[in-house]
Structure formats: structure tokens, C-alpha cells
Amino acid sequence: MKTALAIRHVAFEDLGSFAEPIAEAGFSIHYVEAGMQAIPAEAAEADLLIVLGGPIGVYQTEEYPFLSDEAALIRARLGRDAPTLGVCLGSQLMAAALGARVFPGGAGKEIGFAPITLTDVGRKSALAALVEPEADVLHWHGDTFDLPDSAVLLASSALYAHQAFAVGRRGLALQFHPEAETESLERWFIGHTAELGAAGVSIAGLRAAAAAVGPGLRERSRRFIARWLADIAK
């Protein structure tokens, strides 16, 4: 069986709606808990690596030294076009691994459900399945990044131009969270309460938006990840 290794930075930010389609594609899923477990040697050769989100910054390597290990792993995998998916913090680590700058976004926190717009290349990619019939996804980040020289931009939002990029055929970075499921978001609301309060974000408003948008996003997310896995297997 193929192996999917997911690096998780906080317990409640997991594979979510991605998990079932990844398993259905023939992968055995294993989590590595960042900071608690060393990255295993087999991570370099895993059939699929997914680097998930978290509330820390790529540039905080003195406080969180394991970030340097993650960036090195990502750099090596992208260098040989090994299947690698980064979500939020994971996308920022991918950008940093490719030499791009990661920094606090000038437009402030982007938290909540809002559309993404695909580029011409993005519309021909698996992301097309994520924005049909609507384009709202969950955004939850304060940092952003410059587009790496070797990357191709796939998506933007009203606040931040760099929302998704591809590297080679099998590297994909997503600044937003298509994997987050409505029934799991209550853990996010609790775990990120300080961030939400500081940003002036209404938890009640987020909860209502999740109830309205979440079920449709889950189905589109599942179609998207299934299509991406099929595309990179070709």
C-alpha cells in the first residue's frame, strides 16, 4: 500500500475532508506530530507528503527549530518532484523552501469564508473542482509569501494575490483551508480564540457561515483532492 505522511502542527488541524479520498486512492495515512516527534527517515520517500497548518510563522525557527527540518524535507522532495501538498503553514513552508520571502500580510488577518479566483492555469488544474459551482473557501492566516521563482500561480483572493501555486507536476501549495470540516471547526474556534479576539472576528458569525458554506465545500474539497491525486499519478 502507498504511504501518505501528514505533518500536523496542532491536533485539531488534520486532514479533514481530504482523509477519505486519500485513503480511497490507496494510501495508508500516518501523522507526524510536529515538535513532538522527529520527522522519520522514510518521510523523504513517502508516496505523498502533506504539510498541514498551524498558528506559528515560518520565520520562527529559533522558537520552533523543527520548522527548519520541515523546510529541508520539502526542498528535497520538490527538487525531485515527489508528491507534496502544503496547506496554510504548509504552503508558506513550501514557499520558504524554494527561497521566497514569507512575512506578515500587509492587509492583516484573512479569516473567514471568501472566494478565490483561479488563474488561467488554475482553471485547467484540479482546483477547478474546488470552485464549481461556487468559489468560497475557508481562509485563516496572517502571513503571506512572495511567489517562488520556480512556481506557477494558480489562485488569488481579494486580500492576497498568492493563494495557491504549483511546483513541477506534483507540488501544490494552498494558502487557504479546503480540508476544514464544519463539524470540526468548533475545535478551531476554541483553539484559536485569542487570535480571533485580537482580530475582531465574530465566532458566532464564523459558525453561521460554516453551517451555510461547509457542506458544499466538503463535497467540492473531496472532488478536488481526488482529482489532484489522479493527476499526479499520471
Choose, from 13, 110, 179, 181, the residue flagged as catalytic: 179
Report, in this order, helix, strand and coil percent for the chain, each rounded to 5: 40, 25, 35
Catalytic site includes residue 177: yes
Choose, from 9, 139, 162, 177, the residue flagged as catalytic: 177
200 in the Ramachandran plot: left (φ > 0), alpha (ψ -120 to 50) or beta?
A: left
pLDDT on residue 50: 98
Is the pLDDT confidence value at 234 over 90? no
CATH T-level topology, domain 2-232: Rossmann fold (3.40.50)
Catalytic site includes residue 20: no
Average of pLDDT values for 168-192?
97
Query: Tens of pLDDT along 220-231?
Result: 999 999 999 999
Choose, from 88, 141, 181, 192, the residue flagged as catalytic: 88
Average of pLDDT values for 75-100?
98
pTM of the full predicted structure?
Answer: 0.98
CA 111 from chain center: how many Å?
Answer: 14
Catalytic site includes residue 179: yes
Question: What pLDDT band is residue 128 in, cutting at 50, 70 and 90?
Answer: very high
Average of pLDDT values for 186-200?
97
